[in-house]
Structure 1
Amino acid sequence: MGIDFDKALGVHPDALRLRAERTRILAANIANESTPGYQARDIDFASALKRSMADDATGLSLDTDGDAEALYRVPNHASQDGNTVELGSEQAAFSQNSSDFQTSLTFVNMKLRGLAKAINGQ
């Protein structure tokens, strides 16, 4: 009898993959804050996670390499050079995403520790 890690870890591995992809996109936004015409992008995390869970149920895999889920962000204050990056908003989103990533990582670690205890018979 083997352990099915997909069932044991739940949604957290997919959440970690999506959070990592979102971190990359938000970092690109921050790096291009002064690039004229750059369009800020972001991921709708909830819908991307639902889509990922549905794909896993049908046997498909999560593909975040192509930025297919990244949407353009609408700025609160338009700039004259066409850049839609608002540094404060991007930094806040990046910080929140980092915190959420750490939370999901903590859940994965707790589940793995629980599985190790079960294997050892504790």
Structure 2
Amino acid sequence: MAISLDKAFGIHPQAIKLRLERSEVLASNIANADTPGYKAKDFDFASALSGAKKQYQSEMTRTHDKHIGAGKTMLNDGLQFRIPSQPDTGDGNTVDVNVERVEYLKNNMAYNASVQFMTGRIKGLKAAITGQSK
């Protein structure tokens, strides 16, 4: 009996990819905190994950390997400008470094939790394959 990794892992690999993409967006915001005219960007993780879930399900129902798959990015243009929480400083930059750092840390903690979950799944599969109990 074959073990389907898609069924075992479900949407979790896509969630990890989205967390990685979000960390890149947030890091870019922090790096451009002093760039005049730079607008802070972010995306709604829940809606992006919902889109990734739909993409995952459509990938599962493809009838032929040569059919066109989804794009490489998980965001699918869900990137939006962040609404500024501080008044304009005169240079047009909307990055609030404290907000970006907090969001980056929260995203990093969620990423680590997802990786730990996947690690647990992999250990469980390994135990099942080798016939060992946890």
* Cα 1:69–1:101 shift into 2, 3 Å: same
**Alignment match, 1:72:** 81
Contact 1:52 1:62 (8 Å CA) reproduced: no
Q: Measure how far apart 1:78 and its partner are.
A: 2.6
Contact 2:26 2:104 (8 Å CA) reproduced: yes
The unaligned stretches of length 5 or more in structure 2 are 60-68
* Cα 1:78–1:33 shift into 2, 3 Å: same
User: 1:95 pairs with 92, 105, 112, which one?
Assistant: 105
Instruction: Output the CA distance in 2 between the equivalents of 1:62 and 1:103.
Output: 26
SS in 1 for 2:80: strand
Contact 1:56 1:62 (8 Å CA) reproduced: no
Could you say which structure has the larger radius of gyration?
2
Is 1:86–2:63 an aligned residue pair? no
Instruction: Output the CA distance in 1 between the equivalents of 2:113 and 2:119.
Output: 10
1:68-100 deviation line (CA, Å, top 9, x unaligned): 121110101132111110000000000000000
Alignment length (residue pairs): 122
Contact 2:42 2:80 (8 Å CA) reproduced: yes
Query: TM-score normalised to the size of structure 2?
Result: 0.85
* Cα 1:67–1:30 shift into 2, 3 Å: farther
What is the percent sequence identity of the aligned residues?
Answer: 40
**Alignment match, 1:52:** 52
